[in-house]
Each structure stands twice: as structure tokens, then as C-alpha cells.
Amino acid sequence: MAQQLEQLKGSHLVSLDEWSAEQILHLLRLAEWMRTHRDDASQLAAGSVMATLFYQPSTRTRLSFETAMLRLGGHVAEYEGRSLDTDDLVFRETIHDLIRSLSQIDDIIVIRHPREGSALVAARASDVPVINAGDGGHLHPTQTLADLATLLRLKGGKLRNLTIGLCGNLAASRTAHSLVTTLCRLGHNLHFVLVSTRQNRMPDWVLARLDRTPGFSYEEVDSLRPVISSLDVLYMTSFYPTHVEPAGQARQASNSTTNGKRLSRDYRVTPELLRAAKPDLAILHPLPRGLEIDRAVDDDPRAAYFTQISLGVDVRMALIATLLGKLPQQFDESVVFAEQGSDVDE
């Protein structure tokens, strides 16, 4: 049994930066175990109650968490988004007071809130584990875990010697930032191809992390077409950041790229584009998508964005079980990814 995971009992997940690379890798292995041992996992969290507080709607993320808890045999208390109206200044309760109270009632709390840093406030107020399910444009660590699980699954359990394309509004994509910076800690010998317009470039602080990571390199280009054939992974992100209201600045800023209903072919994945791509390319997207992935691509075996959602449930099962300290006795991590030769041991 992984000691690193046992150490996480009772702790929070606000940012993956607080976890060691080993802890993240162990969790990803546990997620793979969850995927292949549904029956063994089905009573791990029996008797535990998870509170979900979504101040911002995100049906997919909320259902993924709730389903993960149900698959572990636990229960879910869903707090109505409407009663948590953040604009109601008179009746608004502080995050601190609400979470402090809920932590007397429930065993684990999942929070999504538009304020950046809200999950840290919640974690500090809580007597039970808090999971950050997105704090504004800041962090969304379980999305990154799902992205990493998908890469491991589709790339033979290894995060090495890959050319990874990222395309979209890289300036505003928290999931792209988080994926790259976490790969800087977990991966080996990765080359990044950053595809964006000049206005939507990857921020300098992320590029600085890449510069500082031995064996890592990157290039910045303004079209998918000349680089598609070199990619092992293509991580697409929406030009409209999903955590920003449609009327928000980010949408206005990206108008020049998306030009209303049209999105330049330089930033779209279409069946034509994929003719030049490798047969084992993995196309990821945190969803919801805009026009950047043509629906005709969905049936292509290289489309991995629905796999990502399925693996998202597995990582959330692993996460909930870990934070609750309900790790499976049968979990033998040496066999996980074994058929592909694990990279995760290093």
C-alpha cells in the first residue's frame, strides 16, 4: 500500500503544487486500479457523505464527483446553487462560515466558486477534506488529474519522449497552464508545441517553468496545420474560457481570433487536418468545446476527450478514497500499468 497516499488522509486538494510528484503518480495509479476494480471499490466510502457546493454551474464536473462518490458506496449532499447566490450581499454568508458549518455535517466537501483563492479559504475553514473543483480562472486540479490519467492510459503508462501540442486561448486556459506545469514535475523529455494567436500566447511564467525544466523544450506557432504531423498528443482548449461569463473580458479579447461564429482553420481540428496526423495521436479537450473540434472528429479513434471524462470519474474516486483514508486493501500498485511497462516507478 502506498504510504504516500496514506499520508494524504484528512488533507485537502486545493492545488496540485502542494502534492509531491510521487503522491500524484500514486494517485493516478490508484485511479487506474479504480477503473479496473469497480466491484472491489464499491463499498470503500460506505457511510460517508460528500457535500457538493457549486456556486458556479458545471454539470459535468459536479456529476463526475457525485458519481465517483456513489461508485465508492458513499452518499452525496448537493447544496443548491441558487441558495448560494454570491450576488446577494445582504444574505451572503462568508465562505469561511459556510464551510466551517458544513464540515461539522459532512465528511468531505467539494467546492466550485468563481472567486480565485476561494478553495484555499474553504480548506482553511474546514475540519474535513476540501476538494477544489475550480476557483474562478485560477485552478482546477481534478481536471489536470483527469488529463494526466488520460495521457498515461493512452501513452503506455509513460510521460516521456512525447511531442505535446497545446492549442487555443493559451493565455486564459488554466487547465493548459496546470497541465504543463504539472508535467514539468512528472514528465521526462517532453517537447511542447504551443499553438495560438499572438494575443493568446502561453503566459511567460509558464514558459519560464519550461525553460527551467531539464530535457523540456517548446516552440510557439500560429497554426496547427504545419505541426500536426509531429504531435503525439494534442490538447485543445476553448477560445472562450468556460469559467468566464460570456460577456467577460476574455471573450471580447478572443473575438479577433474567433470572429463571431467562425474560427480560423489554423486552430480547428477537422477530419482533413487529421489526415496528416500520426495514427496514435491522442486528442484531448477539457470540454465544453466550442468550434475548435469539428464534431466529425468524435468518431475518430484518436479523439480522447470522452475517454478523459470517463477517467475523470476514476481519478475522483481515487481522490475521495485517499482523502477520506479509505484506501483499498487489495490495491497492488505494482500491477497497475504493468502490461505497458510503467514509467511511474522512476
Partner 1 sequence: MSMSELNASAATTPEVKTQATATATHAVAADEVNDLTLTRLAAVLGRGYVIEHVPAGGSLSLLNYLKIDPSEETVVIATNVASRAAGHEDLLGVRVDEIDTDMLALFAPHAIIARVEEGKPVRTVDPVLPARVVNTIRCVNPGCVTQTEPYLDQVFVLADKNLGEYRCEYCSAAAQF
Please say whether the dihedral angle defined by the alpha carbons of residues 179, 109, 20 and 330, taken in this order, is positive or negative: negative
As a whole number of angstroms, the distance between CA 19 and CA 339 comes to 27
For the segment 102-141, give every residue that binds partner 1 (CB under 8 A).
113-118, 120-121, 135-138
Nearest residue (CB) to partner 1, 48 versus 173: 173
Q: Is 345 exposed, middle or buried (0-12, 13-18, 19+ CB in 10 A)?
A: exposed
Nearest residue (CB) to partner 1, 40 versus 116: 116
- Give Cα 115 to chain centroid, integer Å: 18
Nearest residue (CB) to partner 1, 132 versus 142: 132
95 binds partner 1 (CB under 8 A): yes
- Which strands, in side-by-side order, build the sheet including 75-79? 75-79, 49-54, 108-113, 130-135
CB within 8 Å of 159: residues ≥ 6 apart: 148, 151, 152, 183, 186, 187, 188, 190, 343
176 binds partner 1 (CB under 8 A): no
Among 20, 36, 43, 94, binds partner 1 (CB under 8 A): 94
CB within 8 Å of 275: residues ≥ 6 apart: none
Smallest separation, CB 286 to partner 1 (Å): 19
Among 96, 189, 226, 340, binds partner 1 (CB under 8 A): 96
Smallest separation, CB 139 to partner 1 (Å): 8
Nearest residue (CB) to partner 1, 206 versus 336: 206
Nearest residue (CB) to partner 1, 121 versus 186: 121
Nearest residue (CB) to partner 1, 122 versus 313: 122
Contact code string over 35-74 relative to partner 1, x by CB under 8 A: ----------------------------------------
Smallest separation, CB 113 to partner 1 (Å): 8
Contact code string over 220-239 relative to partner 1, x by CB under 8 A: --------------------
As a whole number of angstroms, the distance between CA 79 and CA 175 comes to 25
As a whole number of angstroms, the distance between CA 173 and CA 292 comes to 14
Nearest residue (CB) to partner 1, 68 versus 121: 121
The interface region with partner 1, picked from 73-81, 94-102, 276-284, 319-327 by CB under 8 A, is 94-102
How many Cβ atoms are within 10 Å of 105's Cβ, its own excluded? 11
Q: Reduced to 3 states, what is the DSSP secondary structure of residue 163? A: strand
* Count of positions on this chain that bind partner 1 (CB under 8 A): 16
18 binds partner 1 (CB under 8 A): no
Nearest residue (CB) to partner 1, 178 versus 258: 178
Listing DSSP states for 221-274 in one string gives ES-STTTGGG-SEEEE--SS-TTS-TTSHHHHHTHHHH-TT---GGG-B-HHHH
Place of cell 479579447: 253
For the segment 74-93, give every residue that binds partner 1 (CB under 8 A).
86
Question: Which stretches of the chain bind partner 1, using CB under 8 A?
Answer: 86, 94-96, 113-118, 120-121, 135-138
